[in-house]
Amino acid sequence: MKEDQRFQKRYEAHDTPWDIGKAEFNLKQAVMTIPIRPCKAVDIGCGTGDNAIWLAEQGFNVIGIDTAESAIQKAKEKASKASLKTAFLAADILAGHIEGGPFGFAFDRGCFHVLESDEERKKLAENVHRILGKDGLWLSLIGNADEKRTTPGPPQRTARHIVNAVEPYFEIVSLVSGHFASNNPNPPRAWICLMKKRAG
């Protein structure tokens, strides 16, 4: 089953443990402390829109994209209730160009880690590089393979998986081990990876 169909079915079945109903604290921390100034931004794999909406509230001009049509519909409803002009599109970052760029900031919470092959992850990095402007930043939250667990959770990737995919497109500014925001009392571990677009 293709990824877009798999996630569409999970949204329809309400089997979405990653959809926590609030913005990711790792995103908030990065934006506030680095800081990342308001700019054109893209939320890749935006789900039902909580992170994109939070960015819009901070003054970012945001486009959220996801392959799951039902998630995009929910995101549009949330943005409408919040009276925010956040654009949400059903689109696949691996399929090609995303309208609205170049962007100054890209965010993904779990898009990188659902890709199974090095080739797909390299394609993601190449496409994010393409849609970002000069010195554009990419913050990616990725399931951390250092966690030994006995319960289901996000796909897990190693630091080597990350480096192999993003070179030569990005300079890794920081790569630290942390955890995802979660409604689970034992949140899954994550890599918090901040990258800067390389020239060329």
| CATH value at residue 132 | 3.40.50.150
What are the pLDDT digits (tens) for 10-41? 656 665 666 778 999 999 999 999 999 999 99
User: Mean per-residue pLDDT for 167-171?
Assistant: 95
Q: Alpha-carbon torsion 166, 167, 172, 178, what sign?
A: positive
Question: pLDDT over 90 for what percent of the chain?
Answer: 74
Question: Residue 149 has what pLDDT?
Answer: 80
Where do runs of H (alpha helix) occur along 34-158?
A: 50-57, 69-81, 111-114, 118-131
What's the domain count of the chain? Answer: 1
Specify if 121 maps to a domain.
yes
Instruction: Give the type of residue at 93.
Output: I
Residue 83 placed within a domain: yes
178 found inside a domain: no
Q: pTM for the whole thing?
A: 0.91
- Establish if 77 belongs to a structural domain: yes
Place of tokens 């689109």: 91
Residue 170 lies in a domain: no
What confidence tier does 1 reach under pLDDT thresholds 50, 70, 90?
Answer: very low
Asked whether residue 179 is assigned to any structural domain, the reply reads no
| Inside any domain, residue 59 | yes
Are 118 and 161 spatial neighbours (Cβ–Cβ below 8 Å)? yes
Q: Which domain holds residue 41?
A: 3-13+25-148+189-197
C-alpha distances in Å from residue 34, one per residue of 119, 161, 173, 194: 31, 25, 11, 10
34-90 confidence digits (pLDDT tens)? 999 999 999 999 999 999 999 999 999 999 999 999 999 999 999 999 888 889 999
Q: What are φ and ψ of residue 168, in 5° steps?
A: -100, 20
